[in-house]
Copies of this chain bind each other. A is one copy, B any other.
Amino acid sequence: MRIGELARQAGTTTRTLRYYEARGLLPARRAENGYRRYDEEDLRLLHQIRLLQDFGFELEETRPFVDCLRAGHSSGDACPASLDVYRRKLAELDAVIGRLGQVREQMSAQLARAELEASAATPPAPRCELTQAAPKGHTRGADDGADE
């Protein structure tokens, strides 16, 4: 099949496939007219890549899995190199989750404290527009209509 077809089947874009080829991750055979040609095997490799990408793998980190599949294994994680990547990513993941959990706790504490202070203290500087929604003042510099 050609590049557009593969992209559709894998739910990605031709640009992405060319990018993968440029990275050497998913090289393509060429037809006589220069068009890239792919087969079902490439679709499998591509599925593997996308799956790992969804897991948050960088492109380079999917390479051992792709190589493993290409070497004839039925699954991309049948090779030691892939397992190493799994273990490393797992450790990274734990570190990130731990860090985010800490941040979450700190932020939530900050929020609780700030909400408490906001409800307890009637604003000591009641003429400051920033503490109120937007009754009349226009002290916020240039126009700032951008609300998300």
Contact = CB atoms under 8 A, between A and B. Distances in A.
Interface of A: 55-56, 67-68, 71-73, 75, 77-84, 86-87, 89-90, 93-94, 96-97, 100-101, 103-104, 106-108, 110-111, 114-115, 117-118, 125, 128, 130-134, 138-139, 141-143
A83 B118 contact: yes
Number of copies: 2
Contacts of A56: 100, 103
Contacts of A81: 130, 133
The 6 closest A-B pairs by CB, nearest first: A77-B114, A71-B130, A86-B111, A80-B133, A93-B104, A79-B130
A67 B115 CA distance: 18
B75 A114 contact: yes
B128 A107 contact: no
A73 B114 CA distance: 12
A128 B96 contact: no
Nearest to A87: B141
